[in-house]
Amino acid sequence: MDVGMMMVFASYGWDDCPDAHVWEEEIGLARLAADSGFDCLWSAEHHFNDYSFVPDNINLMTYLTAICPDIDVGTAA
């Protein structure tokens, strides 16, 4: 069995917070998951919703692969 984490990159709950800070926190969670032995990271793409920070899963997954080379990545939702 694989254990993964879905990365929603949502702006809910981040009122009055710069977008860059949201990205830093979400990327930090990805690194924590990789360092903790998770098997995969899943990127959600909701580009027609106001809360979404990921308009292109391929760009995010490319970045995640570079910073977390020992974990699988995929798309979700």
In a domain, 42, yes or no: no
Q: Is 41 part of a structural domain of the chain?
A: no
In a domain, 1, yes or no: no
The count of structural domains within the chain is 1
Mean pLDDT confidence for 3-10: 87
Letter string b/e over residues 27-55, b meaning 16 or more CB atoms within 10 A of that residue's CB: beebeebbeeebebbbbbbeeeeeeebbe
70 lies in a domain?
yes
Return the percentage of the chain with pLDDT > 70, whole number.
Answer: 91
Rounded Cα distance, 6 and 1, in Å: 16
pTM strictly above 0.95:
no
Asked if residues 39 and 4 have their Cβ atoms less than 8 Å apart, the reply is yes
Indicate whether 2 belongs to any domain. no
pLDDT for residue 77 is more than 80: no
Could you list the residue range(s) of the whole structural domain that residue 31 is in?
7-36+47-76
Inside any domain, residue 23: yes
* CA dist., res. 12 & res. 3, Å (int): 25
Residue-wise pLDDT for 24-61, tens only, equals: 999 999 999 999 999 999 988 776 666 677 778 899 89
CA 14 remoteness from chain centre: 16
